[in-house]
């Protein structure tokens, strides 16, 4: 069986798998990273969203062969050690989740958005999040939590800059 | 002493239906000593919801399935409130599955809160009394002068002891008689009515294993199961040897079912070393099916049959009161008729059906077979019952782990996915996780049944409703109506008016149907509230006035039955929603407000939708204003979530979801042909609670039914087009 090198949440991994095995099942079944969810298998629902070289991608529709040599970040790697990402904190503070199943994908889509656009408008958020279904209908709180996290990150950035001065 | 024992036995007797508790302590032996000292108290005889350790940590067990309705947070809040705990000291754990200890472990029908409200309060209050007894002994103060707050027993002098300090002694105190327990009054609440973030939220946002599909046990194999696309088809042959030779495949075999879709249908099991291997192999299956006994159901045929009979009365009478024919014939009334249609829909839980089982063969005689299961289910008792009825395993042989559900909406009251994996694990003699593909999940659902209603009504010269008639077209299996396919004699507004007639025609189908968020209500609301709005317009009336006039004086329609209509509660939410939404204000062209009220699962709920419709039928739902009366709110955050979610779910379903079937085959398969509403199309949802003094009732379902008629009525107000068919895409609308 062929073997593929990749970095997952900062850890080098060597994966033995059929070349057409989607990254989703590499993560869930081979590496035991079950935070990335299976929703549809056809890149329609966003439940399996991960970052590949910082780009949000549906892990169900990217093969292991295509990820070889790349860097993957999953929900398990979103926090900085014990320090939760501001989005994770806001998700808890605003009690976003209902069933919670889609939220890994929602958080990864949102994290990618804030990385490229630290101060998104409602429309920016809608555009970035339109690929992620929530069957429970938590969209209102997701949008609100993204705004709050963005404000906090901006405030943290200012604080850090002041400390440097 | 006898008296005491009698009271205890009363507590035990009621414990299964809802009473009793135990306090235990981490101090070794404390409970055993207490048991001896207090004779009748043993852990085996009482429920076990609360544990307090000497370091002050309070563990509260949540016994029911969490599927997004928030019950795992809500019920422990009630216990913590009566106990006098500080929420920060509380850790909530999913309880083991043991219905003798915890009572009915079933979540569904928005029943969990009303069913367990007293039980949870008893748990907390009993434990509180035991802490007070312990505090009274240690502090040498009369117990009447003590109370609990912030996880302490306190006295007005300022003296206090923590729950942690008192835990071992409290566990030895007599269990109070349930009859003597007093509950806190609402104005003293410090936890109930506040917003508490869901107890699993940290686990959810960090992606830690939680759901059934996340189960991993040592040496676990992965399985897929392939059934006939036409319900009831059986396997003649399949390319099993080819499948077995594929990479990652451990075994493949034909399973002979029992022809019961709720248990085990014929299919092909594929077992491998990972999910991809079995899904990939499944796509390469070539099966010869025998469809001679399979379903031949056709949606288009049902539509034709209903339309052919729409001007007639139904086969069976539901209710006949007054004289509708005379009212319709009266030249002073205005009579209108309409034909409403709504489709079958799927549950579409984001977590597809799955289950993990480990069947271990025993060596015989004293070494029985055993079964351990990790089950995402609304009712773990059903996993036990199917292990017994189909596999002959008694309760002592089976361990069930209740897993969190990635959505359910009524879907996971069924147990066929459990039976499938038990069968496969038994054959493999290994732990197996069965995962359905999304295609399996949609095609082999227990659908919300579609149907039709041919309605007729009359208003008099003052625009008052004087007659209402309905011919309900429903679905049945073997002569029994499927879940939600009903129109009752107590359906609003039949009880409110003098002349009403309803009849039904039932179509026999094979397509499996089952409960789907607010069964029956989610379709009847669309028809009745839409048609009443039509009648209001026919009578030249404002729908708000028309609806309030129908409600009349405040009264219960069935005194003592909290699930019946209370016209006072109804009028309360109708007025509140209208006021908050600015009902009656001038709207620009192409923009309109629509109002609807519905009672379901004891929840009186009114919604006002504000929509715009452009010349190309592009629909924007700007805002939905909701007024809710389900009694006191327990977790405010969770309650708002349920309402927001129900509104978005209702809109999602109304907009574009429709399951069709021809020759017994479901024609949709995945999200590309069965779409869910996306974030850009989600409206603002403004939620208002009228916290009446009635006992609290459930909120998982009742906010959904009023959404569809509110939007349909708003579309009429905005555009003059009357929507009588769902989904809206079939009426030419887009978002």
Q: What is the pLDDT of residues B442-499, one digit of tens each?
A: 999 999 999 999 999 999 999 999 999 999 999 999 999 999 999 999 999 999 999 9
Give residues with Cβ within 8 angstroms of B548, minimum separation 6. B571, B574, B575
Same domain, A92 and A152: yes
Tokens of B472: 């309900």
Q: Residue A141 and residue B641: Cβ atoms within 8 Å?
A: yes
CATH no. for residue B650? 3.30.365.10
Q: Residue B207 and residue A34: Cβ atoms within 8 Å?
A: yes
- Domain annotation covers residue B442: no
Sign of CA dihedral B84, B86, B87, B90: negative
Count how many domains chain B has.
3
Share of chain B above pLDDT 70, in %: 93
| Closest CA relative to residue B278, chosen from A38, A100, A52 | A38
- What is the band of B175 on the pLDDT scale with cuts at 50, 70, 90? confident
What pLDDT shows up at residue A164? Answer: 65
Boundaries of domain holding B471: 309-346+447-731
What pLDDT shows up at residue B100? Answer: 80
CATH no. for residue A25? 3.10.20.30
pLDDT, mean of residues B669-680: 97
Same domain, A99 and A50: no
DSSP assigned state of A17: -
Q: Residue A133 and residue B680: Cβ atoms within 8 Å?
A: no
Which chain B positions have a beta carbon within 8 Å of A75's beta carbon?
205-207
- Domain annotation covers residue B579: yes
Minimum-distance CB partner of B405 among A35, A99, A139: A99
DSSP assigned state of B277: H
What DSSP string runs through A118-156? SS--HHHHHHHHTT---TT--HHHHHHHHHHHHHHHHHH
Which chain A positions have a beta carbon within 8 Å of B210's beta carbon?
100
Helix (H) or strand (E) holding B715: helix B707-719
Q: What is the pLDDT of residues B347-391, one digit of tens each?
A: 999 999 999 999 999 988 788 999 999 999 999 999 999 999 999
Same domain, A90 and A72: no
- What is the band of B19 on the pLDDT scale with cuts at 50, 70, 90? very low
Q: Residue A18 and residue B69: Cβ atoms within 8 Å?
A: no
Name the β-bridge partners of B224.
B270
Q: What is the pLDDT of residues A88-125, one digit of tens each?
A: 999 999 999 999 999 999 999 999 999 999 999 999 99
Asked if the interface predicted TM-score (ipTM) of this complex is over 0.95, the answer is yes
- What is the band of A165 on the pLDDT scale with cuts at 50, 70, 90? low
Minimum-distance CB partner of B676 among A30, A133, A141: A133
Measured CA to CA, the distance from residue B469 to residue B341 in angstroms comes to 16
- Domain annotation covers residue B139: yes
Same domain, B123 and B232: no
What DSSP string runs through B521-566? HHHHHHHHHHHHHHHHHHTT--HHHHHHHHH-SS-BSSTT-TTS-B
Boundaries of domain holding A154: 86-164
Same domain, B31 and B147: yes
Q: Residue A30 and residue B274: Cβ atoms within 8 Å?
A: yes
What pLDDT shows up at residue B104? Answer: 86
Same domain, B611 and B663: yes
Name the β-bridge partners of B155.
B146
Give residues with Cβ within 8 angstroms of B287, minimum separation 6. B226, B228, B235, B236, B237, B238, B239, B268
What are the CA-CA distances from residue B735 to residues B613, B614, B617 (Å)? 10, 10, 9
Same domain, A63 and A91: no
| Closest CA relative to residue B68, chosen from B412, B410, B405 | B405
Q: Residue A25 and residue B672: Cβ atoms within 8 Å?
A: no
Same domain, B288 and B313: no
- Domain annotation covers residue B304: no
Name the β-bridge partners of B612.
B591, B620
What DSSP string runs through B671-697? TTTS----GGGPPEEEEEE---SSPP-
Contact B375, B400 (CB under 8 A): yes
Distance to chain A for B475, nearest Cα, Å: 26
Same domain, B141 and B234: no
Count how many domains chain A has.
2
Q: What are phi and psi of A73, to 5 degrees?
A: -120, 130
Using the predicted structure, report yes or no on whether residue B160 has a pLDDT greater than 90. yes
The last residue of a domain, from among A42, A77, A112 = A77
Same domain, B325 and B467: yes
Which chain B positions have a beta carbon within 8 Å of A36's beta carbon?
207
Q: What is the pTM of this model?
A: 0.94
The last residue of a domain, from among B435, B456, B472 = B435
CATH no. for residue A128? 1.10.150.120
Tokens of B519: 């069964």
């Amino acid at each position: 069986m062929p073997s593929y090198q990749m970095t997952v949440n900062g850890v080098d991994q060597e994966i033995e798998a059929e070349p057409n095995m989607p990254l989703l099942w590499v993560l869930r079944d081979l590496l035991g990273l079950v935070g990335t969810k299976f929703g549809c298998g056809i890149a329609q629902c966003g439940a399996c969203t991960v970052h590949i070289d910082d780009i949000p991608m549906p892990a169900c529709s990217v093969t292991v062969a295509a990820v070889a040599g790349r860097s993957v970040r999953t929900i398990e790697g979103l926090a900085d050690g014990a320090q939760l990402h501001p989005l994770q904190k806001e998700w808890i503070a605003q009690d976003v989740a209902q069933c919670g199943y889609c939220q890994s994908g929602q958080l990864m889509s949102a994290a990618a958005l804030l990385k490229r656009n630290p101060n998104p408008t409602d429309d920016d958020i809608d555009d970035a999040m339109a690929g992620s279904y929530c069957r429970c209908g938590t969209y209102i709180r997701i949008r609100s939590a993204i705004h709050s996290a963005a404000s906090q990150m901006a405030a943290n950035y200012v604080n850090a800059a002041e400390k440097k001065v | 002493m006898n008296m005491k024992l009698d009271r205890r036995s009363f507590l035990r007797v009621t414990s299964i239906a809802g009473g009793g508790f135990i306090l235990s302590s981490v101090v070794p032996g404390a409970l055993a000593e207490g048991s001896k000292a207090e004779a009748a108290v043993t852990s085996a005889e009482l429920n076990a919801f609360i544990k307090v350790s000497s370091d002050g940590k309070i563990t509260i067990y949540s016994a029911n399935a969490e599927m997004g309705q928030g019950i795992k947070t809500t019920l422990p809040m009630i216990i913590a409130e009566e106990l006098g705990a500080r929420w920060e000291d509380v850790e909530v754990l999913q309880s083991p599955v043991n219905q003798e200890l915890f009572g009915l472990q079933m979540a569904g029908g928005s029943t969990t809160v009303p069913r367990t409200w007293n039980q949870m309060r008893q748990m907390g209050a009993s434990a509180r009394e035991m802490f007070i007894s312990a505090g009274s002994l240690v502090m040498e103060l009369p117990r009447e002068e003590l109370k609990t707050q912030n996880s302490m027993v306190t006295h007005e002098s300022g003296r206090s002891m923590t729950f942690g300090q008192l835990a071992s002694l409290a566990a030895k105190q007599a269990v109070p008689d349930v009859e003597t327990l007093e509950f806190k009054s609402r104005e003293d609440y410090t936890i109930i009515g506040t917003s508490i973030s869901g107890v699993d939220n940290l686990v959810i946002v960090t992606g830690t294993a939680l759901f059934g599909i996340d189960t991993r046990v040592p040496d676990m194999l992965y399985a897929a199961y392939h059934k006939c696309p036409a319900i009831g088809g059986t396997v003649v042959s399949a390319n099993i040897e080819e499948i077995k030779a594929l990479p990652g495949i451990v075994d493949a075999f034909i399973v002979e079912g029992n022809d019961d879709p709720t248990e085990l249908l014929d299919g092909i099991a594929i077992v491998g070393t990972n999910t991809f291997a079995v899904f990939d192999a499944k796509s390469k299956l070539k099966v010869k099916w025998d469809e001679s006994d399979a379903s031949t159901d056709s949606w288009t045929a049902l539509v034709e049959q209903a339309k052919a009979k729409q001007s007639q009365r139904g086969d069976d009478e539901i209710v006949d009161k007054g004289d509708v024919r005379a009212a319709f014939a009266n030249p002073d009334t205005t009579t209108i008729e309409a034909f409403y249609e709504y489709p079958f829909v799927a549950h579409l839980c984001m977590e597809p059906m799955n289950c993990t089982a480990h069947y271990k063969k025993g060596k015989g005689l004293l070494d029985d077979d055993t079964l351990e299961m990790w089950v995402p289910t609304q009712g773990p008792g059903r996993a036990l019952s199917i292990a017994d009825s189909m596999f002959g395993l008694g309760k002592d042989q089976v361990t069930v782990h209740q897993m969190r559900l990635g959505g359910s909406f009524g879907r996971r009251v069924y147990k066929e996915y459990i039976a499938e994996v038990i069968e496969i694990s038994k054959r493999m003699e290994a732990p197996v996780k069965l995962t359905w593909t999304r295609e399996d999940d949609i095609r082999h659902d227990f659908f919300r049944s579609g149907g039709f209603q041919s309605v007729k009504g009359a208003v008099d010269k003052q625009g008052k409703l004087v007659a209402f008639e309905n011919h309900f077209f429903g679905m049945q299996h073997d002569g029994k109506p499927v879940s939600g396919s009903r129109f009752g004699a107590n359906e609003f507004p039949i009880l409110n008016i003098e002349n009403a007639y309803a009849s039904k025609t039932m179509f026999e189908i094979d397509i499996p149907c089952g409960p789907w968020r607010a069964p029956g209500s989610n379709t009847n609301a669309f028809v009745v509230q839409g048609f009443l709005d039509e009648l209001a317009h026919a009578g030249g009336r404002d729908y708000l006035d028309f609806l309030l006039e129908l409600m009349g004086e405040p009264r219960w329609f069935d005194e003592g039955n909290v699930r019946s209509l209370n016209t006072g509660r109804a009028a309360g939410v109708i007025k509140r929603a209208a006021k908050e939404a600015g009902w009656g204000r001038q709207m620009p062209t192409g923009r309109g407000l629509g109002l609807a009220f519905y009672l379901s699962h004891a929840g009186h709920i009114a919604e006002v939708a504000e929509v715009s419709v452009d010349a190309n039928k592009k629909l924007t739902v700007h805002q939905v204003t909701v007024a809710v009366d389900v009694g006191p709110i327990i977790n405010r955050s969770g309650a708002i979530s349920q309402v927001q979610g129900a509104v978005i779910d209702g809109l999602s379903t109304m907009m574009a979801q429709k399951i069709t079937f021809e020759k017994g085959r479901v024609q949709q398969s995945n999200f590309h042909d069965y779409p869910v509403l996306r974030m850009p199309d989600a409206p603002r949802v403004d939620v208002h609670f009228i916290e009446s003094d009635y006992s609290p009732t459930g909120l998982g379902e009742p906010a959904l039914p009023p959404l569809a008629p509110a939007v349909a009525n708003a579309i009429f107000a905005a555009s003059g087009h009357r929507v009588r068919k769902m989904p809206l895409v079939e009426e030419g609308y887009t978002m």
